[in-house]
Amino acid sequence: MTLLGAGADTKWLRFFQSLINKKHSAYNPPELIDWNERQNEELQSEGRKFGVEIEKYMKKQVLKNLKDLFKENWELEINSIKRECLKRAEEEKERNYKEGLGVKEIHWTEMFNINDYKTIIKKYFTKSPQDFELDPVDGFVPYRDLFSVDIGEGFNSTDQRIKWISRFNSYRNLWAHEGTKEKRLNKEEVEFLEKIHGHFYNKK
């Protein structure tokens, strides 16, 4: 009786299929496999770990390059994004206050979203300090070399090289809503996150 409301038909079907699968293991249709993977807490935890570390890497490298490219003017260079982040920070601060969590200042750089990173990466994809008549920076690596990942859907244009970011963003929404078991990660999606994570962390 708990399986009522939106999505009840699907829940009932998966429950019924699970009962059959317990008696007849040969019965394991693809949609039941997918459903079981999305209920797997260990898989969710693994995917979330990869995702969080990927996002940390993106933030660190995106900001580092901006500062190398524009020095003290880097914030002005992305001021439209900064304004949106400031707005999100104020909204978050208000939400926390109204929910009884106290008043806590939130720095605007804590409010970047994945699309903000994508916009910055794409705009300055091949740029280096020399393009802005600045002295070379030791160890500088352009966004093109940092964030190009071949996911098997073409690798020629800028859009193809950073297409993984859009997919990553859609998966991020799955682990960000961890309380909703219908919106979670399956094995294939976690393997994708592992591949992206390996591209950033295993090459060091």
Kindly give, in sequence order, each residue whose CB lies less than 8 Å from that of residue 190, ignoring residues fewer than 6 positions away: 43, 46, 47, 50
pLDDT tens, residue by residue, 140-186: 999 999 999 999 988 999 999 999 999 999 999 887 765 555 678 99
pLDDT exceeds cutoff 80 at 137: yes
What pLDDT sits at residue 12?
85
Buried b (16+ CB within 10 A) or exposed e, 24-59: eeeeeeeebeebbbbebeebbebbbebbeebbebbe
pLDDT tens, residue by residue, 27-69: 999 999 998 998 899 999 999 999 999 999 999 999 999 999 9
* Phi/psi at 61 (5° precision): -75, -35
Contact at 8 Å (CB) between 174 and 185? yes
When pLDDT is cut at 50, 70 and 90, the band that residue 80 belongs to is very high
Q: Which of the two residues, 7 and 152, has the higher pLDDT score?
A: 152
- For tokens 């490219």, the residue is 69
| pTM (predicted TM-score) | 0.86
pLDDT tens, residue by residue, 102-112: 988 999 999 99
Q: Mean pLDDT, the chain, as a whole number?
A: 90
pLDDT exceeds cutoff 60 at 204: no
